[in-house]
């Protein structure tokens, strides 16, 4: 079994033990809140890991390389940003997909742009954002965020 998972669990166990002595009621509430978020995300995670398996076996690396490989340059950034913007889902689901893309030959900038746009840009939540903040803010923010995702991807390519 992976030791890092055990370490994280141990750290969280200690954190809960400390908070429990301070405030048992709030700690119980925290545990409940965590459990509810986890239960909410579990079906999505199952589906995503299922997808990762299919991806791993059925999608030829050549296809990923052609669209998101480093030799594709700007196209790979556009594809990464576009995929992340369309995809809607919890960030926890983005990481396994991103790792699969990397393994399949996608470039670091493309994968970084994919992750950043996944969490920052929401085509699906655009109607809700417009309703809360106004159409102007929602459109401007999502547009700028797509640009930011591509730029962050580029910068990641330079840094890493």
Partner 1 sequence: MTAATAHKRSRTDALKPYRLVLAVAALYGVAAINSPERAWGAALVAAKTFASVAPIIIAVFAGLGLVQVFVDKQALARHLGDRAGLPALLIAAAAGTILVGPVFVVFPLLKTMRDHGVSWAIITTALTAWAVKLPMVPLEVTFLGWRFSIARMALTLIASVAMGSLMGRLMREKPEAIMPAADSDTA
Is residue 20 a contact residue for partner 1 (CB under 8 A)?
no
Whether residue 65 contacts residue 73, with contact meaning beta carbons closer than 8 Å, is answered with: no
| Residue 24 CB, nearest approach to partner 1 (Å) | 12
Q: Does 127 bind partner 1 (CB under 8 A)?
A: yes
Give every CB contact of residue 16 below 8 A, 6+ residues apart in sequence.
Answer: 27, 30, 31
Complex with partner 1: residue 34 or 61, whichever CB lies closer: 34
Structure tokens given for 21: 């002595």
12 vs 63, which CB is nearer to partner 1? 12
Separation of CA 150 from chain center: 15
Q: Which stretch binds partner 1 (CB under 8 A): 38-46, 60-68, 69-77, 79-87?
A: 38-46
CA atoms within 13 A on the CB side of 138: 14
Rule CB under 8 A: is residue 4 a binding residue for partner 1? yes
Q: Does 131 bind partner 1 (CB under 8 A)?
A: yes
Closer by beta carbon to partner 1, 86 or else 139: 139
Segment 55-114, which members bind partner 1 (CB under 8 A)?
56-58, 91-92, 95-96, 98-99, 102, 108, 111-112
Count of residues touching partner 1 (by CB under 8 A): 81
70 secondary structure, DSSP code:
G
Q: Does 54 bind partner 1 (CB under 8 A)?
A: yes
Residues, the chain, total?
Answer: 160
> With contact defined as beta carbons under 8 Å apart, do 102 and 61 qualify?
no
Sole window of 60-68, 73-81, 149-157 interacting with partner 1 (rule: CB under 8 A): 149-157
CB of 65: closest distance to partner 1 in angstroms?
18
The secondary element (H helix, E strand) that includes residue 17 is helix 3-22
Reported as type and span, the H/E element at residue 56 is helix 24-58
């Amino acid at each position: 079994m992976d030791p890092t998972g055990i370490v994280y669990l141990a750290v969280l166990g200690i954190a809960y033990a400390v908070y429990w002595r301070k405030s048992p009621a709030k700690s119980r509430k925290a545990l409940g809140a965590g459990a509810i978020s986890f239960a909410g995300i579990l079906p999505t995670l199952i589906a995503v890991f299922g997808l990762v398996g299919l991806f791993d076996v059925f999608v030829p690396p050549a296809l990923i390389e052609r669209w998101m490989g480093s030799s594709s340059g700007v196209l790979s950034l556009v594809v990464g940003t576009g995929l992340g913007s369309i995809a809607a889902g919890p960030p926890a689901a983005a990481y396994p997909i991103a790792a699969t893309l990397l393994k399949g030959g996608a470039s670091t900038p493309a994968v970084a742009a994919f992750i950043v746009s996944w969490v920052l840009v929401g085509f699906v939540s655009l109607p809700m954002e417009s309703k809360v903040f106004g159409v102007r803010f929602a459109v401007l923010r999502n547009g700028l965020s797509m640009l930011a995702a591509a730029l962050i991807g580029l910068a990641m390519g330079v840094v890493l």
